Amino acid sequence: MALLQISEPGMSTAPHEHRLAIGIDLGTTNSLVASVQSGIAKTLQDQDGNTLLPSVVRYLENGDVIVGQAAQDSQLDDIENTISSAKRLLGRGVGDIKTLAGNLPYEFDTSDESINVPQIKTVAGNKTAIEVSAEILKTLKKRAEDSLGGELKGAVITVPAYFDDAQRQATKDAARLADLNVYRLLNEPTAAAVAYGLDQRDELNESENERIIAVYDLGGGTFDISILKLNKGVFEVMATGGDSALGGDDFDHLIAEWILEKSESNLTHHALVEARRVKEALTDNDEIIASIETLIDGEKGDWQGLINRSEFDEMVAPLVKKTLMACRRALRDADLEKEQVHDVVMVGGSTRMPIVREKVGDFFEKPPLVDIDPDQVVAIGASIQADVLAGNKPDEEMLLLDVIPLSLGLETYGGLVEKVVSRNTTIPITRGQEFTTFKDNQTAMTVHVLQGERETVEENRSLAKFTLKGIPPMVAGAARIKVTFQVDADGLLNVQAEEQTTGAKSGIEVKPSYGLTDNQIEGMIRASMDNAKQDMEARKLREQLVEADRTLEAIDSAMSSDADELLNEEEVQTLLTARSQLIAAKQSAESAEKVKAAIKHMEHEADFYVARRMNKNVNEAMAGHSVNEFDQ
C-alpha cells in the first residue's frame, strides 16, 4: 500500500524535491551568493568562513585561474594579469576604454579593429570582461553547490538599474559561460527592496497600504537610486536614476591622487590599494596613517602621511553631491516630494562611509536605514526571488515590477524619433504601433530602433536596424505596418515588424556589441530636459519638412501624369513658381512657420488643379453609365 505524505500548507509534499536556487550579487568590488534554507535567506560562506568574494581574477601562464582573496593579494606582484573592477567594462566598446579604464593598469589589445569588445592582454591570452566575470560566477556557483550539497536549478543575478541592453546581455553571456541557468536579471535596488520589504512586513502598520522607499545603492563601481512603492507584496519601481560609472572606486582614486601628490611617487596601483584601506579605516577612525612604497627617480623608499576624516570628507564631497543630484531627479521622475518617502535604504559597501550616511540623511530629512548589512542585502533579495522562481513557494504572491531607464523608439521620415516605449515604463512590456509608407510603390522598409529622450535621430543612441521586405506596392500611406516592441523581465529588447495585409514579418533581438559611455544615460536624460524647448522646435520644423516633401511628391506626380491635358502654360508656370518657393523654404529651413506658410501657399495655388483632376476622375468613372446606376 502506498504511503501518503502529509505536509504543512505551502510546503513541498516532497521535501527532497526542493529545487536549489541561488541569488548572486555580481559586484564591482565584491561578489556574494545567497540561498533560502529552511525558509531563511542567508549568504553562503567559503571554506574560510568568508561571505564576500573579492571580484578579482588572476591569470597564470600555465592556464590556471585564481579568483577572490588570493588573487587580490597578488595585485601588487602581478598587476598586468590580475584583473579587478571588470564589471565596469561589461558591455562596453573599445572606444570606451579611454574614459572607463584610464586608471586601470591593464594593456588592451586593439590590433584587430573588427573586434569591438575590449580585450585585456594576459599571460593566458586576451580576456574580455565577460570571461573575467564568468570566472567569478563559476567560483560562486561552486561555493553554492558545496554549501547546499546538490545541483543548482537556477540563479537570479543582480545588475545595476542603469545597466543598458548591452551590459545586461554581457552579464547573461558571462552566466552562460559559467554554466548557470539564469531565471532572470534583477535590478540591484529592487533586490534590496525585496529583502527589506519582506523583512519588515510584519512591522508595518496594518492601516498603511503602501510604503514609498528610496533605495540608495553606492557600490564599488556604480551608483543607483531607485524610488519604489511597496504594496501588499507588489514591488513597483516608480523611477530610477544614477551613474553607471560612479562608485567606491572613484573615492579610492581621489585618495590615491592625494597619496601620490604627497609622496611624490608614481606607483599608481600601489597608491590605489592603500587608498582603499585608508577609506575603509576612516569609517571607524577619525584619522589614519597612509603608507606606501615609493619609487622616485629609480630610488625605492617608504612614505607615510596622516589623513583625517574631515580632510577626506572635503575631498569626496563633490562625488557625494553628484549622487544627491541623481536622487533629486529620481524624485522628480516619480512625481514625489522628499516628505513622501517613508524610508531610505542604504545598499553597497560604500554607504558605510559616515559622510555618505550623513548627507543622505540630510537630503531626505530622515536617518537612513542601515540595519540590514549593506553588502549582503542585494544577494539576499536575489535569493528570495530565485526561491520563488524555482517554484519552492507556489503560494508566494510577491511581484516585481522594474522599469526601463531610457525611452525606446523608431526613426521616422525626416530624421524624427517616434517613442514607442517611454522611460520608466514598467517591464515586462509589449507595445505596438502602426506605421505606413512614405512613397508610392514602396516594397521595403528599414526599421531603425533608437534609445534616448531627444526628438531627433542624431541625438539618440542607435540600437539596431533591420529591413522589412514584401510590402505590396501601394500608394503612399496605404500600407499598414505594425511594429511591436517587447521588453522582457531582464530589460532585453525584441522588435518585430509585420505588414498587416500580407503578413510579411521581420524582426531582431537587440544585442548591442557595446554599452553606453560614462554618464551617457544620465547625460541623455539631462540633455532632454535642458533642450526640451529646442527639441520641440526642431521636431516641428522637421515635421513641416516632411510635409513639404509629401506636398512636392504629390504635385510632381500629378503634373507628370496630366499637366499637359489639364493646364495651360500660364497655369503651369504659376504652379512651378509656388513649387520653387516651397523648395527654397524647405532648403533654408529657417523655421517651421515659414515652411508651413510655403506649403499652404503651394496648396492654395494648386486648388484649381486639384478640382480639375477630381472632376476628370469622376467623369472617367461615370463614362458609359447613367446616374441612376450609381443611385442603385
Q: Is the pLDDT of residue 462 over 90?
A: no
Kindly report, residue by residue over 180-230, the tens digit of the pLDDT: 999 888 888 788 878 876 434 444 444 456 778 899 989 877 788 888 887
Digit-coded pLDDT (tens) for 333-352: 889 999 999 889 898 888 99
Is 217 an active-site residue? yes
* Span 408-432, average pLDDT: 79
Cβ(434)–Cβ(455) below 8 Å: no
Q: What pLDDT was estimated at residue 522?
A: 52
The whole-number average pLDDT for the span 290-303 is 80
State the average pLDDT over residues 368-386.
Answer: 88
314 catalytic residue (yes or no)? no
Least confident of 118-127, 373-382, 401-410, 592-601: 401-410
The number of beta carbons lying within 10 Å of the beta carbon of residue 620 is 8
Q: Is the pLDDT of residue 151 over 60?
A: yes
CA distances from 427 to 424, 453, 486 (A): 9, 18, 9
Per residue in 303-327, pLDDT tens?
888 999 999 999 999 999 999 999 9
pTM recorded for the entire structure: 0.58
Asked whether 193 and 215 are in contact (CB, 8 A), the reply is yes
Which pLDDT value is given to residue 5?
35
Distance CA 481, CA 436 (A): 6
Query: Which is catalytic among the residues 46, 87, 141, 459?
Result: 87
- What is the arithmetic mean of pLDDT over 92-121? 70
Q: Which domains are assigned to the chain?
A: 20-246+317-402 (3.30.420.40), 404-530 (2.60.34.10), 533-622 (1.20.1270.10)
Task: Give me the percent of the chain exceeding a pLDDT of 90.
Answer: 18
- The catalytic residue among 96, 188, 387, 535 is 188
The one catalytic residue in 46, 131, 165, 217 is 217
pLDDT tens-digit readout, 6-38: 334 434 444 445 788 999 999 888 999 999 888
Neighbouring C-beta atoms of residue 610, cutoff 10 Å: 13
User: In the Cβ-directed half-sphere of 158, how many Cα atoms lie within 13 Å?
Assistant: 40
Eight-class DSSP state of 464: E
User: Average model confidence (pLDDT) for the chain?
Assistant: 80
Instruction: Give the whole-number percent of the chain exceeding pLDDT 70.
Output: 83
Average pLDDT, integer, range 398-412 = 70
Long-range contacts of 495-504 (CB under 8 A, 24+ apart): 495/447, 495/449, 495/464, 495/466, 497/445, 497/447, 497/466, 497/468, 498/468, 499/468, 499/470, 499/471, 499/472, 500/434, 501/472, 502/470, 502/471, 502/472, 504/468, 504/469, 504/470, 504/471
CB 419 within 8 A of CB 407: yes
| Separation of alpha carbons 69 and 66, rounded Å | 9
Say whether 25 is catalytic: yes
Q: Is 143 exposed, middle or buried (0-12, 13-18, 19+ CB in 10 A)?
A: buried
Higher pLDDT, 535 or 153: 153
* Residue 224 among the catalytic residues: no
Active-site position among 25, 250, 453, 535? 25
pLDDT of residue 247: 85
pLDDT exceeds 50 at position 2: no
Q: Is the pLDDT of residue 330 over 80?
A: yes
